[in-house]
Amino acid sequence: MIKITLKDGSVREVQKGSSVLDVAKSISEGLARSIVAAQVNEEVVDLSYVLNEDVNLNLLKFEDEAGKETFRHTSAHILAQAIKRLYKDAKLAIGPAIDNGFYYDIDLDYKITAQDLEKIEAEMKKIVKEDLQIERFDLPRDEAIKLMSEQNEDYKVELISELPEGEIISFYKQGEFVDLCRGPHLPSTKKVKAIKLLSVAGAYWRGSEKNKMLQRIYGTSFEKAKELEEYLNMLEEAKKRDHRKLGKELGLFTIIDEGPGFPFFLPKGMELKNELLRFWRDIHRKANYVEVETPMILSRHLWETSGHWHHYRENMYALKIDEEDFAIKPMNCPGGMLVYKTDMHSYRDFPMRVAELGRVHRHELSGALHGLMRVRAFTQDDAHIFMLPEQIKDEIKGVAKLIDEVYKTFGFKYHVELSTRPENSMGSDEEWEVAENGLKEALEELNLPYKLNEGDGAFYGPKIDFHLQDCIGRTWQCGTIQLDMQLPQKFDLTYIGKDGEKHRPVMIHRVAFGSIERFIGILTEHFAGKFPLWLSPVQVKILPISDKYMDYANKVKDIMFEKGIRVEIDDRAEKIGYKIREAQLEKVPYMLIVGEKEVENSEVSVRSRDKGELGSIAVDKFIETVLEEIKNKTMH
């Protein structure tokens, strides 16, 4: 007999050689039917996995992250099998599970269309109904190459050939279909009942422009049809909110052929961006940050010291100046290190909170570019905080409170994840213990629940990530707090301690928005372009009924402009109904209609984007209401 410790801490004794599924059945048949995979001592395995020693066992359902991944990995195999049935000449590349779905890359001369996706999906549903058992088998490297060569799967042969000799290679078989795969998988195809193919796109083999362009078929799958329907409804809603479409309609930004991945912000987009930056500066001034600006281009020597030249070179834009190598900065941190070194520091200077709205450039593949969400140039709202080891906890709490205030201002909910020491880390056990404990204690003292990602930290230190949730349920990783034990060492940062000796400071990197541009994209989709008053590029639009009332309209505009309200007049010779409709399409928060009655009474007739007709109000009273709403950053 062997001992199985379950997630709730209970221990069961089972016969040595029992499978994971046997253990589940011994608990309950219902449980056995509902699980999709399991974790044995943290490793995700098939339900057929045989237990031969005492282990920790976590039975995974679809709602578990690793359960979803297994479910969708099997869905990708069903997709590949359907493709091979319908297109015999197709060569398979890779087919992983991804967030919210899966994809498979294929090499096929025939171009897959939207109509073809329906045909492939129908074949997938047939495979599901066939209830094909999914079985794993292993082969030595040479035999694995032979098997894939016989099937003309050139991409699989390439992948296997790169593995060391003597390696045992795993495959999964379902019916006539065999695929190279690490697994794990569902026991059979029958569970994948709710399935939908979404789109087809181009993707370079192994992500390199030097390689062949393949066709990537995207899909998603769920346990229940209702969950799939909800997800597809969310996608439809997301299409309506697409920031690229709204950005064009609202005149916020554009991407031009002469600058792929380099957004052009238009006047209204700059109003929005500048309002965000004003908010950012105000909140940081109150939290006792100083602001710096570091150069956009710095010498190769700096990037060699930081390690970017060797580890990040393919993402950097380099150039020569006076026969010397330079690079446009992809990150602000190395410049921040040089700012620290411009002066001598003592323990009395800490904590030093140094913020920078730094413009960074990173080379992204053209296929990965996506509006403001994935660009080649963006503004990072960075800060580097230098401190003593005993200040870690309080500084982390301060940053977490600041990020909380930022997200709550926009009405975002969020969750927090803490990532700890990875295998390839640098620094001593003592340093990591101090760092990780500082982060954990800070989160616990703030009563911030967090998900623990063991071993998922950066090699230079543990980190806290903030994942915000928008109004249609999507999550975006924006804020992050990273403790760094590497850069202070690489740049030989020191301070004079109480003992008169030199010591190395502790440093954290942190962002709240992350990328200002990406955050604008997220806000645009979250609000569907209906920005709250304080953020709106145009806050008030004055609509004169005819030219007779233009002088009064201009007088009202001037008064509001002087008060700092972003105001425009629609002075076109159009009917008032048309002007109202146009202002509504522009999603302006307030429309002021002015005609004879308004002129006589020094009033404006107010129409709210969100509340409809509000009636006639004295100009001064309206301005007072608007200024109060802007000051309070009201979110409706």
- Per 3-state DSSP, the chain is made up of helix, strand and coil in percentages (nearest 5) of 40, 30, 30
Q: How confident is the model at residue 434 (pLDDT cuts 50, 70, 90)?
A: confident
CB 33, CB 4: distance < 8 Å: no
Range with the largest mean pLDDT of 340-349, 420-429, 471-480? 340-349
CB 76, CB 90: distance < 8 Å: no
State the SS3 of 424-475. CCCCCHHHHHHHHHHHHHHHHHCCCCEEEECCCCECCECEEEEEEECCCCCE
From 156, 384, 526, 541, active-site residue: 384
The Cα 69–Cα 156 span in angstroms is 21
C-alpha distances out from residue 330 to 284, 317, 335, 353, 443, Å: 23, 8, 11, 21, 30
CB 389, CB 435: distance < 8 Å: no
The Cα 73–Cα 546 span in angstroms is 63
Rounded to the nearest 5°, which phi and psi values hold at 420? -105, -170
The Cα 80–Cα 77 span in angstroms is 5
| Structure-model confidence comparison of residues 474 and 248, the more confident one | 248
Per-residue pLDDT of 302-327, as tens digits, reads 999 988 898 889 999 999 999 999 99
Closest CA to 543 of 498, 514, 580, 508: 580
From 156, 308, 362, 609, active-site residue: 362
Q: What pLDDT sits at residue 459?
A: 76
C-alpha distances out from residue 491 to 304, 333, 336, 531, Å: 11, 11, 11, 43
C-alpha distances out from residue 137 to 22, 339, 536, 636, Å: 20, 58, 60, 58
Q: How confident is the model at residue 547 (pLDDT cuts 50, 70, 90)?
A: very high
Cα angle: 178, vertex 183, 185; to 5 degrees: 85
Q: What pLDDT sits at residue 636?
A: 67
Q: How many CA atoms lie within 13 A of 380 on its CB side?
A: 24
| Structure-model confidence comparison of residues 145 and 166, the more confident one | 145
From 382, 465, 484, 570, active-site residue: 382
362 is catalytic: yes
The Cα 535–Cα 533 span in angstroms is 5
Closest CA to 331 of 307, 351, 352: 307
CB 537, CB 421: distance < 8 Å: no
Neighbours of 182 (CB within 10 A): 12
From 105, 174, 333, 353, active-site residue: 333
Burial of 517 (0-12, 13-18, 19+ CB in 10 A): buried
Neighbours of 402 (CB within 10 A): 19
Q: What is the mean pLDDT of residues 146-168?
A: 93
Closest CA to 315 of 359, 357, 365, 356: 365
Q: What pLDDT sits at residue 324?
A: 95
Return the bridge partners of 608, or none. Answer: 590, 612
The Cα 355–Cα 399 span in angstroms is 12
215 is catalytic: no
Q: What pLDDT sits at residue 166?
A: 83
The Cα 43–Cα 59 span in angstroms is 12
Stated as kind and residue range, the H or E segment containing 615 is: strand 612-618
* Token duo for residue 442: 């800070």
Closest CA to 531 of 609, 617, 434: 609
Q: Identify the DSSP state of 596.
A: H
Q: What is the mean pLDDT of residues 411-435?
A: 87
Q: What is the mean pLDDT of residues 245-253?
A: 96
From 39, 174, 215, 380, active-site residue: 380
The Cα 259–Cα 277 span in angstroms is 24
* Token duo for residue 566: 């972003």
| pLDDT averaged over every residue in the chain | 93
Q: What pLDDT sits at residue 552?
A: 96
From 241, 463, 510, 609, active-site residue: 463
599 CB contacts (<8 Å, ≥6 apart)?
549, 552
In the block, tokens 């760092």 appear at: 435
Q: Strands, E, within 517-611: which ranges?
A: 540-544, 567-569, 590-594, 603-608
Per-residue pLDDT of 227-246, as tens digits, reads 999 999 999 998 999 999 99
181 is catalytic: no
Exposure string over 533-555, b if 16+ CB within 10 A, otherwise e: bbbbbbbbbbbbbeeebeebbee
Q: What pLDDT sits at residue 607?
A: 96
Rg value, the chain, Cα: 29
pTM of this structure: 0.82
The Cα 332–Cα 335 span in angstroms is 6
Closest CA to 190 of 120, 229, 134, 117: 134
C-alpha distances out from residue 416 to 403, 452, 475, Å: 11, 9, 11
The Cα 137–Cα 168 span in angstroms is 10
Q: What is the mean pLDDT of residues 352-380?
A: 93
What's the first-to-final CA gap in the chain, in angstroms? 63
The Cα 580–Cα 587 span in angstroms is 11
C-alpha distances out from residue 118 to 30, 97, 112, 412, 457, Å: 34, 20, 11, 37, 42
333 is catalytic: yes
Residue type for position 127: I
* Token duo for residue 434: 């101090």
Q: What is the mean pLDDT of residues 35-44?
A: 92
Q: Strands, E, within 300-394: which ranges?
A: 317-321, 324-328, 352-361, 377-387
Q: What pLDDT sits at residue 473?
A: 85
Q: What pLDDT sits at residue 424?
A: 77
* Token duo for residue 364: 């992204």
| pLDDT above 90 (res 554) | yes
382 is catalytic: yes
From 191, 509, 579, 587, active-site residue: 509
502 CB contacts (<8 Å, ≥6 apart)?
494, 495, 496
DSSP 164-221: PTT-EEEEEEETTEEEE------SBGGG--EEEEEEEEEEEGGG-TTSPEEEEEEEEE
